[in-house]
Amino acid sequence: MRERRCTIALGRPLVPLALPDNEGDELERWTHRQKTAQALALRAGIVLRAAAAKSNTEIATQLGVTGATVGKWRQRFVRRRSEGLLDEPKPGCHGRSVLLRWRRSSSPST
């Protein structure tokens, strides 16, 4: 007797990702450019694999990250496109220039 296997998709359905040529080219450049930050190159690689209809689990295994990481960047790309892959400023961080201006203004005059 033949054994029948049934596959059931678990989890939420994935939002399909379609990349216009210009976006796909930009993401490819980000993954291959030597001066691109590693985090940005990883995010671009996640999106490129997602656009190739790979599952989050498959992408996570290939890139050595968690499924949650893949899901985060997939969703952020869907909402904000390539701009969503860029680093956002950290809350409470005003940058070094603000700190230096504060130090100069608070130092006693001589």
Q: Measuring CA to CA, how many Å separate 3 from each of 6, 7, 9, 21, 58?
A: 10, 13, 20, 44, 26
- Helix (H) / strand (E) containing 60: helix 56-63
pLDDT for 44-95, tens place per residue? 999 999 998 898 999 999 999 999 999 999 989 988 888 888 876 666 655 5
> Which of the four pLDDT bands, split at 50, 70 and 90, describes residue 36?
confident
Q: What percent of the chain has pLDDT over 90?
A: 24
Q: Look at 8 and 24; give whichever has higher pLDDT.
A: 24
Q: How far apart are CA 57 and CA 70, in angstroms?
A: 8
Q: What percent of the chain has pLDDT over 70?
A: 65
Whose CA is closest to 71, among 27, 11, 31?
11
If you ran DSSP here, which 8-state letter would residue 36 be given? S
Q: Does residue 9 surpass a pLDDT of 70?
A: no
- Report the mean per-residue pLDDT for the chain: 77
Type of residue found at 19: L
The predicted structure's pLDDT at residue 92: 62
> Which of the four pLDDT bands, split at 50, 70 and 90, describes residue 19?
confident
Q: Does residue 109 surpass a pLDDT of 60?
A: no
